[in-house]
Chain A
Amino acid sequence: MGLVESGKMPKPLTKLLNLSRKYSIWAYQWGLACCAIEMGAAFASPRYDVMRLGVIPFPASPRQADLVVISGTVTDKIVPAIKRLYEQMPDPKYVISMGSCTNCGGPYWDSYSVTKGVDQIIPVDVYVPGCPPRPEALLEGVVLLQERIQNEDMAARWRGEQDRQEPIIVG
């Protein structure tokens, strides 16, 4: 990938590479609470079936994943594990924050043990609101993320020059 890092990649090739990245996202499922069931419905049920979008939801380890879906209530006790998970993932990596609890604490906004938003620990690319969001909402989040990946300037991103884009908010 020397071409990519040096920024000398021809434009059509970038498009092609982005296209293949877009349709081969390996998504790591980090299911914590109620949203994990809706994520399971979106990722593993025949009715919603995320694989038709080119997302493979069964990586064996975060080291093989491009995308992590944090779904459910993030408590202070699980935070170190989430941070470690994110650090283990190879770049370029994306994070979908699914559900109100993960976005901002949700119904536990005044609880003593809940982390109010996973974005305090790791950068989030897509916020999917809802308590829990319907599987369709998660799928839309995936599609919007794919659009972003398609238009990404990889050279800048991979050199770390590009500032993080504004997060996508579904709905």
Chain B
Amino acid sequence: MTLTDAQQLGYINAQAADGRVNVELETDDGMVLNMGPQHPATHGTLRLVARLDGEQVTSADVMCGYMHRGYEKLCEVRSYPQVTTLVNRIDWLGSFANEVPFILAAEQLMEVEAPPRAQWIRTLLFELSRIANVSLFIGDLALQLGAQTPAFYAFRDREFVLNQIESVTGGRFHPNFDRIGGLKDDLPKGWIAETKAAMVRLRAFCDEMEGLVYGNEIFQSRTRGVGVIPAAIAQSYGLSGANLRGSGVDWDLRRDANVGLVYDQLDWKVWTHPDGDSYSRCWVRLQEVREATKIVDQICDGLPSGAIMAKVPRIIKVPAGEAYIATENPLGQMGYYVVSKGDTGPFRVKIRSASFNNISIAPWLLRGVYVPDIITILASLYFILGDIDR
């Protein structure tokens, strides 16, 4: 049996639509370029279907859902302490930061407050996970633009942070350390000095990256003026985190709506960049790593003594009610809307994760750019698939 050209094209089209293969095919209105679902530039399993006219993108669609694990449904059948184990794995690079808003929401419903020392250590671990997250971003960014060495440097220096997280929580990635009413354990002996030494390493890493990557002419010419998001557009698409601050909007939940953490007692700065292009987003992230090392240093110096756990019942039952808590996670605003009906587990949890909103601007942003710029723009938007799909 021989197939006609139209049949063959239809078959290829159907397969492309099915997302099983990477297919480049010629259609009447240009070419369809199918990136993913497994592509290094998509940080996992994102699929991007771009229609091209020559070298220019005429329209791009983002297909997500390849990493959908059904978090919101799973949260309904888990008890409160079990949910933290799950939500660790949403943004897997900065895991501790995922637990905090959920625990804070549960604490608000139960009307308990963590003791000051627990709040300080939470902030400390929060910033450490930000460093672990964003330092890998910088290496990954360079890798996607064609430079391999920075990725090795990022993996090397990230280990210092992971070591510190591990020696407190016992887990390199998924600490599951936060409890309703405080923390599981106190800091180990000698940890403060080690952390300060690690922060010195991380600052050196930032300086190194600033010269090696950000100062590189090729990097600058590939990112400056590419993928510009005006401030009004960024706000209307609901961007948050460094993507928003890279567009010149001075908005940071750590400063503007701080709940349960001690950012208001520390001396730090929110970095913004007015340009709104790929370079400015990446630059803001680099500055945030620097700022986070300073925050960690300050916390190490000013850590109060005392208990790390408030008085909570042994079996946790959260009174009926609703609470929404959002924090400024490494990727942006992460919020949990928790509805409780007085059970041991939540009745409903709505997770507002940063990447889902951040990636929603991609179709708007990718229209009219050239094919190599797709990689730059996706890299600078910085999303994590677990954070998009949950």
A7 to B46, CA, bound (A): 45
Flag the segment in A27-35, A145-153, A163-171 that touches B.
Answer: A27-35
Q: Is the CB of B385 within 8 A of A41?
A: no
* A73-B67 contact in complex given A37-B136, A45-B159, A131-B174, C-beta closer than 8 Å: yes
- Residue in A closest to B86 when the chains form the complex, CB atoms: A107
Contacts of A113 in B (CB 8 A): 68-70
Check if B62 is an interface residue, CB within 8 A of chain A. Answer: no
Q: Is the CB of B67 within 8 A of A32?
A: yes
Q: Is the CB of B19 within 8 A of A31?
A: no
In-complex Cβ contact of A111 among B73, B156, B159, B172 (8 A) = B73
Check if A38 is an interface residue, CB within 8 A of chain B. Answer: yes
A113 to B37, CA, bound (A): 17
In-complex Cβ contact of B38 among A46, A81, A131, A134 (8 A) = A81
A interface bracket (residues with beta carbon within 8 Å of B): 20 to 34
Query: Considering the complex, which residues of chain B in the window 127-167 have a beta carbon less than 8 Å from any beta carbon of chain A?
Result: 136, 151-152, 155-156, 159
Q: What is the predominant secondary structure among interface residues of chain B facing chain A?
A: loop
A134 to B86, CA, bound (A): 19
Check if A89 is an interface residue, CB within 8 A of chain B. Answer: no
- Residue in A closest to B148 when the chains form the complex, CB atoms: A44
Q: Is the CB of B173 within 8 A of A132?
A: yes
Check if B257 is an interface residue, CB within 8 A of chain A. Answer: no
A113 to B73, CA, bound (A): 11
Check if A78 is an interface residue, CB within 8 A of chain B. Answer: yes
| B18-48 interface code vs A (CB 8 A; 1 in, 0 out) | 1111000000000000000110000011000
Contacts of B65 in A (CB 8 A): 77
| A4-30 interface code vs B (CB 8 A; 1 in, 0 out) | 000000000000000000000000001
Task: Write the residues of chain A forming the contact surface with B, with a CB cutoff of 8 angstroms.
Answer: 30-34, 36-38, 40-41, 44-47, 72-73, 75, 77-78, 80-81, 84-85, 107-108, 110-114, 131-132, 134
Of the A-B pairs whose beta carbons lie under 8 Å apart in the complex, a sample of 7, sorted by A's number, is A33-B386, A41-B159, A45-B155, A46-B152, A78-B66, A78-B67, A134-B172
